[in-house]
Amino acid sequence: MLPRFIAARYAVATGPLLFLVGVILWRLAPDADDYLYRLLHADVDARWLPLLVRFTDAGGAAVMIPVALCGLIYLWLEKRRSIALWLLATIASGRILVELAKIACARTRPPIADRLVSVSTASFPSSHSAGTMLTLGALCIAFGTRARGWTAAILFTLAIGLSRVALGVHWPSDVLGGWGLGALWIGLLARFAPAAG
């Protein structure tokens, strides 16, 4: 398994960097942010759009929260209650942090004409990107996942973030900010995780 202190070290190192790059793109290099947005925004064929929407929904709270609850219930039933409570506290506090950041930043999303799905909340940071990072990272730590599991979790998280830009509902800087905030929170709280067992 990948030792959690290694995961925590990488997350604490990369999280602030990703978040900072997101803020710089948004605040100091909006032309670059817009260029990347135009590059990644999908001109989705109508037959592929439902598939892309279903995929991006997999990174939303409606899927990630039940996934986390299944992990929590399993750990609880296995009498691994300390790590189950850590999992709950980590994901719940991280999601609250992301929502507070959205309110504080109050960034406008890309133009309505570009959006291929309906959204109404603020844009920075991307809650799909942060929530997927938080949920899958916390589950990897709670279950003592091996490197391959971490790789799959990270690749899925990256794909979810990119799907948000492809659908025209986030700027690339929002996604970077979400990944960064999620990684940083996981890295900080991993230090307090009980042994996965």
pLDDT in tens, the chain (197 residues): 555 666 777 888 899 999 999 999 999 999 999 999 999 997 767 678 888 999 999 999 999 999 999 999 999 999 999 999 999 999 999 999 999 999 999 999 999 988 888 898 999 999 999 999 999 999 999 998 888 999 999 999 999 999 999 999 999 999 999 999 999 999 999 989 887 55
d(CA 148, CA 150): 5
Q: Please report whether residue 197 resides in a domain.
A: no
On whether residue 178 sits in a domain, the answer given is yes
Q: What pTM, to 2 d.p., does this model score? A: 0.92
- Joined tokens for residue 96: 């609250």
Q: Is residue 111 part of a domain?
A: yes
Domain that holds residue 35: 4-190
196: in domain: no
CA distance 142 to 145: 8
d(CA 38, CA 160): 17
- Count the domains in the chain: 1
In a domain, 109, yes or no: yes
Does residue 128 sit within a domain?
A: yes
